[in-house]
Homo-oligomer: A and B are copies of this chain.
Amino acid sequence: MSYIKQMFETHPVNPSSDHAKVIECITACYSCSEACNACADACLGEKEVAKMVHCIRDCNDCADVCLATARIISRFTRTDFKLAGAQLRACIQACESCGAICSKHGQTMEHCRVCAEACRRCAEACQSLLAEKPTS
């Protein structure tokens, strides 16, 4: 359902033919933002919502950070890798925090298990892109 691959293939500024890591990073960031926003709402719907407060806040933060990261990395023609690098590091941190608490809840709450999976994939995609681009 993601159009990013097609977008990159047809972008007027296209210095290389292999953008697999960038595309996976953008897709994983959007997917994680989507999962975190939905998980925060699912947590709000749990009977023992008081126990979910920490998780809701981490999901809200992670949704915001992943979204900003996805949008920035999507602006393909830019070359400010300093900013991209700093934002990727923030995104990895958000996904690790949120993924840790969702993993814990994931044993009893399926939506948290799915969200933890999205966080893990997103952190990996960001790390993989960061490793490729020396960003200062």
Contacts and interface: CB of A to CB of B under 8 A. Distances in A.
Contacts of A31: 1-3
Contacts of A82: 93, 97
Q: How many copies of this protein are present in the complex?
A: 4
Interface in A101-136: 109-111, 113-115, 117-118
A25 to B, nearest CB: 12
A72 B80 contact: no
A44 B72 contact: no
A3 B49 contact: no
Contact of A45 (B11, B61, B74, B93): B11
A83 B77 contact: no
9 contacts: A3-B38, A3-B114, A11-B38, A37-B71, A49-B53, A65-B83, A86-B90, A86-B93, A87-B93
Interface of A: 1-4, 6-13, 26-28, 30-31, 34-35, 37-42, 44-47, 49-50, 53-54, 56-58, 60-61, 64-65, 67-68, 70-72, 74-78, 80, 82-83, 86-87, 89-90, 93-94, 97, 109-111, 113-115, 117-118
Given A3-B117, A34-B70, A67-B68, 9 more contacts: A3-B114, A3-B118, A7-B38, A41-B76, A58-B80, A64-B67, A65-B72, A67-B67, A86-B93
